[in-house]
Amino acid sequence: MRVSSYFAIALLEATAAFAVPSWSSSHDSALQLRRGLPNKVSKRPNHPIAPHHPGKRFPPSSPRTKTCAVKSHGNGTDDSDNILQAIKECNNGGHVVFSRGEKYTIGTALDLTFLKHIDLDVQGYIQFTNDTTYWQVNSFKHTFQNATTFFQLGGEDVNVYGGGTLDGNGQAWYDLYAKDIYILRPILFGTIGLHGGSITDLNLRYSPQWYNLVANSSDVLFSNITIFGGSVSKNPAKNTDGWDTYRSSNIVIQNSDIDNGDDCVSFKPNSTDIVVQNLKCNGSHGISVGSLGQYQGEVDIVKNIYVYNVTMSNASDGARIKVWPGVSSALSGDLQGGGGLGSVTNITYDTMAISNVDYAIEITQCYGQKNLTLCNQFPSNLTISDVNISNFHGTTSKKYDPLVGYLVCSSPSVCSDINISGVDVKSPSGTNLYTCGSIPGIEKQVNCTSTNKGAN
């Protein structure tokens, strides 16, 4: 059964009318501290999962019966002890308030994977210190792609909301990475081992690397999130993915505004039963499956993904599937691999508005490999099947004009049942041409310029 057929479940869960958030054109307004206002406990927001649902009903949250306020020094002194104390006092049935108008500083790595039946009401402004030496040593290390996080939030029945801001203080990291690509840059928000909960109504700013890592988690909703944070120096903010899901299932990401410098959302290995809907993405690398097959001996599965109603502007890609070849290779000094196993199946991209995007659609099994001869000699070990892309419209950028897409597998034996329909995307010169190769039947679906087994 396809993900899209679970609409009835979404209606059952929606106890209030679905409303798309009013995205502000001014990022600065979300960062202003409103001092002098009385402290209030926020009502837990209700964000119905709609119009699509991954299928499995999300567990309900129990009532919260106690409230704890986090005290702030307010002068840049580390507030981590106060934060941890309040969370421990209100764990198992409480509501923790980061007060509106207050600024909180975090200079200590916090392991919050013990949480149960707790709400974190972030109304204020939380900023992580820019002590790059400390964070490289003490941030939490994860197994995939050298990922590290400032903190890790996990447990059972946890809700985070409040309309406040988390600031990763990324400028020091952008400048340091320009000098040394091997530094470990923390991810701003680590959802690690969370089973049941929601992350909603937050502003995420200036992450050193990815904004969100969702790992080993299930039954989690992300809704009404704004993401923004560029560099003010000549050194760009790199690898600032909006969300990366890893070894997680029954995840929903919806109704959010993302302005970043890498994948808007990326489905990493063993991401299953995920819905992404109603997003505005700007400056990104698209909604991406992968990269996959990076590690030899590892089996990467991505299946049952539904992406619906995305606006994609000023990006490298719209819909993207990226798989490493069947032999180890290097994309850069800090990103290399290939030869892994696995499969991509039941992937749907439905409705995307394209504006100044290099490729509306890109499928490659030679990610990270510039040597096309080597890529053809060692086809990917990871299969791609049952992919459906439909209802795209708009205009690509000038970068690959007259091309609007790139659809190339490393061998016809590892790609099948790839369906593209209702795509009305033109290049600036008015063409709708694709580079095609080793995908059975693709020439009957799009206008192919050539067959080419290599990678772009």
Over its C-alpha atoms, the chain yields an Rg (Å, rounded) of 22
Q: Going by C-beta distance under 8 Å and a sequence separation of 6 or more, which residues neighbour residue 143?
A: none
Task: List pLDDT tens digits, range 299-340.
Answer: 999 999 999 999 999 999 999 999 988 887 766 666 677 889
- The beta strands (E) that lie in 260-325 are given as 265-267, 271-282, 287-292, 299-323
Edge-first strand order for the sheet with 140-141 is: 140-141, 148-149, 186-187
User: Residue 28's pLDDT band (boundaries 50, 70, 90)?
Assistant: very low
Q: Work out the number of other CB atoms within 10 angstroms of the CB of residue 397.
A: 18
pLDDT of residue 367: 85
Q: Work out the number of other CB atoms within 10 angstroms of the CB of residue 225.
A: 24
pLDDT of residue 283: 98
Contact in structure between 108 and 134 (CB atoms under 8 Å) = no
Query: What number is the average pLDDT over the span 254-269?
Result: 98
* SS3 state at 338: coil
Distances 1 to 4, 280, 287, 303 between C-alpha atoms, Å: 8, 28, 23, 12
Tokens of 339: 């030869």
Q: Is the pLDDT of residue 163 over 70?
A: yes
User: Residue 291's pLDDT band (boundaries 50, 70, 90)?
Assistant: very high
Contact in structure between 420 and 446 (CB atoms under 8 Å) = yes
* Catalytic annotation present for 285: yes
Distances 28 to 31, 33, 229, 343, 415 between C-alpha atoms, Å: 5, 10, 11, 42, 45
Closest CA to 317 of 276, 275, 277, 364: 364
Query: What number is the average pLDDT over the span 95-103?
Result: 97
Task: List pLDDT tens digits, range 375-418.
Answer: 778 888 899 999 999 999 999 999 999 999 999 998 899 999 99
CA distance 81 to 418: 52
User: Residue 145's pLDDT band (boundaries 50, 70, 90)?
Assistant: confident
CA distance 345 to 66: 45
| Catalytic residue selected from 53, 117, 142, 285 | 285
Query: What number is the average pLDDT over the span 205-226?
Result: 98
pLDDT of residue 195: 98
Task: Locate the domains of the chain by residue range.
Answer: 3-20+28-451
Instruction: Flag whether the pTM goes above 0.85.
Output: yes
Q: Is the pLDDT of residue 255 over 90?
A: yes
pLDDT of residue 285: 97
Tokens of 151: 């903190």
pLDDT of residue 319: 98
- For β-strands 335-337 and 329-332, DSSP reports them as antiparallel
The CATH architecture one would assign to domain 3-20+28-451 is 3 Solenoid (2.160)
pLDDT of residue 377: 80
**Average per-residue pLDDT for the chain:** 90
Distances 222 to 151, 201, 202, 255, 438 between C-alpha atoms, Å: 18, 9, 10, 8, 37
- For β-strands 140-141 and 381-396, DSSP reports them as unpaired
Contact in structure between 382 and 344 (CB atoms under 8 Å) = yes
CA distance 171 to 421: 42
Q: Is the pLDDT of residue 57 over 70?
A: yes
Query: What number is the average pLDDT over the span 56-73?
Result: 96
- The residues that bridge with 253 in the sheet, in sequence order, are 222, 276
What does the CA dihedral 309, 317, 290, 378 come to, rounded to 10 degrees?
A: 140
Token look-up 């900023």 returns 127
DSSP character string of 192-251: EEEEEEEEEEEEEE--SS-SEEEES-EEEEEEEEEEE---SSSS---S--SEEEESEEEE
- The beta strands (E) that lie in 29-81 are given as 66-69
Tokens of 368: 């990270």
Q: Higher model confidence: residue 128 or residue 6?
A: 128
Tokens of 176: 């340091």
Q: Is the pLDDT of residue 371 over 90?
A: no
* SS3 state at 108: coil
Q: Is the pLDDT of residue 146 over 60?
A: yes
Amino acid, single-letter form, for residue 139: S
Query: What number is the average pLDDT over the span 24-37?
Result: 36
